[in-house]
Amino acid sequence: MSVPYATLPTAIIPEEQIQYAAALTAEPLDAAEPAPPHTRPSESTVVEPDRGYVPRGHHREADENGVWRIVKDPIQGRIAQDIYEDHGTFMEASATVQIVTFYKTEERQAEWANRLKLPKNSDKLAATLKQKGDPNKTWRWIHCEGLHGPTMKTIAKETGWPLDKFAGIFAWTRPSSEWANGCLRVHFLDQLTPIWMLFREDESNPVFITCTKLDPNPKLRTRWEDFVDFGDSRPNLLLRKDPSLMLYAMMRAIIQDLRFTASQKHKDMTAAYNLAMSKPSQKSLQYFYELQQSLIRIKLDTTSLRDAATNLIIFVDSMHTHRKEKKPLVSEDTRYMLKDQIGLITLLFNELPEVTRQADAVANLAFNVSSH
Mean pLDDT of 71-77: 70
Gap between the Cα atoms of 211 and 339, Å rounded: 23
Of 264, 263, 259, 140, give the one whose Cα is nearest residue 208: 140
Whole-number pLDDT of residue 38: 41
Least confident of 163-177, 227-241, 257-271, 321-335: 257-271
Beta strand 138-145 pairing with 207-212: parallel
User: What are the pLDDT digits (tens) for 95-109?
Assistant: 999 999 999 999 999
Confidence category of residue 292, pLDDT binned at 50, 70, 90? confident
Collapsing DSSP states into helix, strand and coil, what is residue 11? coil
- Its sign, for the CA torsion 214, 247, 41, 47, is positive
Give the pLDDT score at 107: 92
User: What was the pLDDT predicted at 142?
Assistant: 98
> How far, in Å, CA of 334 to CA of 319, rounded?
12
Average pLDDT over residues 257-267: 85
CATH of 84-240, one of 2.40.128.640, 3.30.360.10, 3.30.70.1380, 3.30.460.20: 3.30.460.20
Cβ-contact 190, 260 below 8 angstroms: no
The CB density around residue 75, as the number of other CB atoms within 10 Å, is 7
**pLDDT (tens digit per residue) in 184-198:** 999 999 988 999 999
Measured from the Cβ of residue 60, the count of other Cβ atoms closer than 10 Å reads 10
**Average pLDDT value for residue range 309-321:** 94
Q: Average pLDDT for residues 308-317, to the nearest whole number?
A: 96
The pLDDT of residue 271 is above 50: yes
Tell me: pLDDT of 91 over 90. Answer: yes
> Angle 149-158/122-130 helices, nearest 10 degrees?
20
> What was the pLDDT predicted at 39?
42
Q: Which of 276, 372, 323 shows the shortest CA–CA distance to 179?
A: 323
81 vs 137 pLDDT, higher one: 137
Residue 9 has pLDDT above 70, yes or no: no
Q: Is the peptide bond before 119 cis (omega within 30 degrees of 0)?
A: yes
Question: What are the CB-based long-range contacts (under 8 Å, 24+) for 57-62?
Answer: 57/81
Q: Where are the domains of the chain?
A: 84-240, 250-371
More confident residue, 349 or 18: 349
Instruction: Indicate the DSSP class of residue 315.
Output: H
Amino acid, single-letter form, for residue 29: L
| Max CA pair span of the chain | 75
pLDDT at residue 346 tops 60: yes
Q: Which H or E run includes 7? A: strand 5-7
Residues 6+ apart with CB under 8 A from 85: 149
Residue 306 pLDDT greater than 90, yes or no: yes
- 343, with CB counted inside 10 A (0-12, 13-18, 19+), is exposed
Fold of the CATH domain 250-371: Methane Monooxygenase Hydroxylase; Chain G, domain 1 (1.20.58)
pLDDT tops 60 at residue 77: no
Residue 114 predicted with pLDDT over 70 = yes
Residues 6+ apart with CB under 8 A from 346: 306
Q: How far apart are CA 256 and CA 179, in angstroms?
A: 26
Name residue 205's amino acid: N
Q: Mean of the pLDDT values across residues 138-160? A: 97
d(CA 135, CA 129): 13
Q: What is the pLDDT of residue 37?
A: 42
Q: Is residue 316 scored above 70 in pLDDT?
A: yes
Q: Are both 84-240 and 250-371 of the same fold?
A: no
As a whole number, mean pLDDT of residues 220-246 equals 94
pLDDT, tens digit, for every residue of 18-71?
Answer: 333 333 333 333 333 444 444 444 444 444 555 678 887 788 999 888 899 999
Q: What is the pTM of this model?
A: 0.78
